[in-house]
Structure formats: structure tokens, C-alpha cells
Amino acid sequence: MHKRALGAAAVTGVAALALSACGGSSPTTPSNTGGSGTSSAAATTTGTPETPSGTAAPVRDANVDLVIWTDADRSKAVQKYADQFAAENGITVKVQIATDTRTQFKDATKVGKGPDVIVGAHDWLGELVQNSTVAPVNLSADVAAKFLPTAIAATKFNGQSYGVPYAVENIGLMYNKDLVPNPPKTMDELVSMGEKLVKDGKAKQVMSQFVSKVGNAYFAYPYLAAFSDGGIFATKANGDYDPNKLLVNSSGSVKGGEVLAALGKQKVLSTNVDDTNQDALFDTKAAPFMISGPWSVAKAKAAGINYGIAPLPSLSGGGAMKPFLGVQMFYVSSKAKNAALAQEFVTNYIPRKDVQLALFEVGKRPPALKEAYDEVSATDPDVKAWYEAGVDGKPMPNIPAMNSVWGPFGQATADIISGKAGAEERLDAAAKEIAANIAKG
């Protein structure tokens, strides 16, 4: 989830890849429950998630009743419950692994060969609704109330719910407890602590954060959001993001940009750090601090790092840095072969605690279901820490206009950090580019 908004080129494709749940692990074959269901048809599934060749889109079998697309990491857990659903209903269900779910789903749905259910990020929602590829879900109010409020809010577009959430995520501050016993509350404290460690020869740089040569809007946003009226879009009275009111070059955003410039000048932030070395700098103790998310924990554990997780620090002259909140969810296709079955699976299976816990085990992102979150947070301090790090965050914009933001805004922040341009002039230019892109649709 950390590869968000990698550059100005191919904005839509980048956003689709960057905002999808991170894949990469080989699916493991779950046991096929088999059995008979409520109809006379034999309940069958493939028993193993189907992987397409290379980067090709999955091919739908016209004889299968329910087709679900997911990424490789979640395929095992999804397959297990797809098998159960097939057995209970006497139907055929197939789980297929998509390498670029959002783009492939849109293309396949247009020609009537798409899946019935997809697993993906909430910020795809506006574009999918705009393209008429997803359907509202029939989630009752009492079931919706069982989820974290921010998770349910992220599944809505124009007041209508379009999915069922299973996980929430955000970035926070990871720190090496052996080098920093207590986390800093402010960025000034962080820099002071880090510089002392570098001076004493205990670290090579102050902090590791994904910036890259083309910037990363996802990681840069919290610096702007720390200031009043800083951010990307203003919100409407109902809380929806307003694509007609850009905040990228507001006074608060410029102040956040000036902080990025100062940290770049101090070498705290660097365009030489990206997804290829961000974790390694922290895991080799080269940097005592790292701004990242739950996806970085496994590597830190494997490296034997005694890490802690804390909220993002406050910025001088502003407030606490506020991260974007990401929500992972199950969508129902508007062109589902059997809409009733798709709705049944998404609204009755995904809200179950056992399903939410199984999906939690993949990536350790806090579950969206309150009951599941309470259970894992009681025994896993990381889950509670990540949730607390995002308590003041806002859901990432799920409006189509956000696709026009990632590349231009990301590149602007990289230019500011590298010193190629001043904060105000560069954010002004980015705002003009973004507005023009939005106007072009």
C-alpha cells in the first residue's frame, strides 16, 4: 500500500496500481470444503485461486455462478470463504487473482466479461461509480453500525454505500527503541534526536521516508494537513470532498510545503529514498525513524529491530501531521451475472468476525469490524498503535478528480524537497495543472 502516486506520468494507471492492496506472495491452496448446498447443483470451486499468465486479466468462465477477483496476498483467505459459500448455496464459485484489479475490472466489465465481486481500495469508488461498473450494496443499518465509523464512511459516495470494508490503514512514525526509548512529539524533537544520533555515529541519517524523484503525494499530504486549511480538496457541508475547491496551494498547504523544503535542506527528507530502500534504511539501523505503515512491520521484525509505533509528530506553527486513511473493501459489480449471490456474499460473509480476522492475518492491517478490531488490538499492540496513529486522519478522497492530483502534486513536493523550486510557486503551478486536468475530465 505504500506505492501511492509514484509520478506524473500515467496518472490513472499509477493510481490504480499504487492504491491497490499490495500483492506479491504466492497463493497457497486452501482445502475445498465441498459438500452440498440448498439447490440440486453440486457445489464446486477451483479450490485454488486462479492466477492469470503474466499481467493478463483473468478470463471469466461463463459456466461459473460467482467470480471473485482479488490480489495474490488475499487470495487464500478469500478462497476459503468462497468454498464455504459455494457449499452452503450449492453453486460454483471461482476466485481469480488480478494483477491490476481496477483497470482490468473496468475493461472486462465493459464487454460483459468481468467478475461479480472485486476486492480493492475505497478510493477507487468515485471512478467506478462514474463508469457505472459497481452497484450499491444492501448493507442494513444495524450491520453497518458494527464497523468502525471511518471505515463505513469511506465506502460511501454521494451518500450511498458501495461496499463492505474489511481493513483500515494509515501511516505513522516507526522508531527504533534501542536508539530512541521514547518517540518525539514534534518534528523539531525528531530532527534534534536524529541529528545527535548521526553525530554520535549511531545512525547515518535522521529519518527514512518515501519521497522519490517523482514524489509521493500520499506521504507528503500529512505535512500540508498539519496546518489550517492545508490539504488537497475542501469538503462540502455533507463531508464529501469538493473537486471544485482545491487546497493544494492554500496558505496552510504552502506552510506545509515550506516544512518539506526545510527538511529537504536539512537532509532529513531526500528524493533518493523510495520504495526500494525506505525499509532497508530503518531495518539496518541507518535511520532511527521511519514514516511508513503496517506493511513495513514484517521486514522490521525479520531484521530484529526493536521498533515502536507512534502518531506522526506535530509541526512548528501548525498541529499534528494528519495521515490519509485507507480502507480496503469488497465491491459488487453492476454487471454481476447473479447480483443476488454477489450481494449475499459481500453483505453476509464479509461482516463476519472470522472472515475479518482471516483477512487481518494478511498484512496485519487493523480490521474494519469493531468486534474483530477489539479482539486483535487486545493482544497485538501494533494494531492499536496503528489505529491510534490514524485517529485524526481523513479518508483518502474517493472522488474521480483525485486521479488528477497524484502525479502533479507528488512531483511538486519532490521538487520542493530537492530545492528545485520554492514551496509557494511550485504548489501554485501544481494547482493550475491539477485544475486543468480535472477540467479535461
Write out pLDDT tens, residues 154-171: 999 988 999 999 999 999
Asked if residue 30 has pLDDT above 80, the reply is no
Among left, alpha and beta (phi > 0; psi -120 to 50; other), residue 65 is: alpha
Q: Which letter does DSSP use for residue 250 in this model?
A: S
State the average pLDDT over residues 91-120: 94
Segment 274-332, tens digit of pLDDT: 999 999 999 999 999 999 999 999 999 999 999 999 999 999 999 999 999 999 999 99
158: left (phi over 0), alpha (psi -120 to 50) or beta: left
Helix (H) or strand (E) holding 381: helix 381-389
Contact 161, 139 (CB under 8 A): yes
CA dist., res. 3 & res. 220, Å (int): 13
Picking from 236, 231, 222, the residue whose alpha carbon sits closest to that of residue 249 is 231
Q: Single out the residue of 134, 121, 22 nearest to residue 395, CA to CA.
A: 121
Q: Can you tell me the mean pLDDT for 396-423?
A: 97
Beta-carbon-side half-sphere exposure of residue 78 (alpha carbons within 13 Å): 28
- Alpha-carbon span 193 to 189, nearest angstrom: 6
pLDDT band at 238; cut points 50, 70, 90 = confident
The span from the CA of 202 to the CA of 376, in Å, is: 35
Q: Is the pLDDT of residue 20 over 50?
A: no
**Residue 45: which pLDDT band, with cuts at 50, 70 and 90?**
low
pLDDT at 43 exceeding the cut of 90: no
CA 150, 151, 156, 160 dihedral sign is: negative
For residues 148-161, b (16+ Cβ closer than 10 Å) or e, as one string? Answer: bebbbbbbbbeeeb
Mean pLDDT, residues 10-24 taken together? 36
Q: What is the pTM of this model?
A: 0.85
Confidence of residue 47 (pLDDT cuts 50, 70, 90): confident
> Quick one: average pLDDT of 235-240?
87
The Cα–Cα gap between 211 and 217 comes to: 9
DSSP string, 30-50: PPP---B-SSSSBPEE-SS-B
Strand partners, 98: none
46 pLDDT tier (thresholds 50, 70, 90):
low
CA gap 245, 253 in Å, rounded = 13
| 256-265, 274-283, 324-333, 360-369, range with the lowest pLDDT | 360-369
* pLDDT value, residue 305: 98
pLDDT at 240: 87
Where does residue 41 rank: exposed (0-12), middle (13-18), buried (19+ CB within 10 A)?
A: middle
| 48: confidence class by pLDDT, cuts 50, 70, 90 | confident
Q: Evaluate whether 306 touches 174 at the Cβ level (below 8 Å).
A: no
- Is residue 124 within 8 A of residue 102, CB to CB? The reply is yes
pLDDT range class, residue 53, cuts 50, 70, 90: low
pLDDT of residue 239: 83
Average pLDDT over residues 424-430: 98
Residue 52 pLDDT: 63
Contact 364, 373 (CB under 8 A): no
Angle at 372 between CA 367 and CA 377, to 5 degrees: 80
| 73 grid coordinates | 496476498
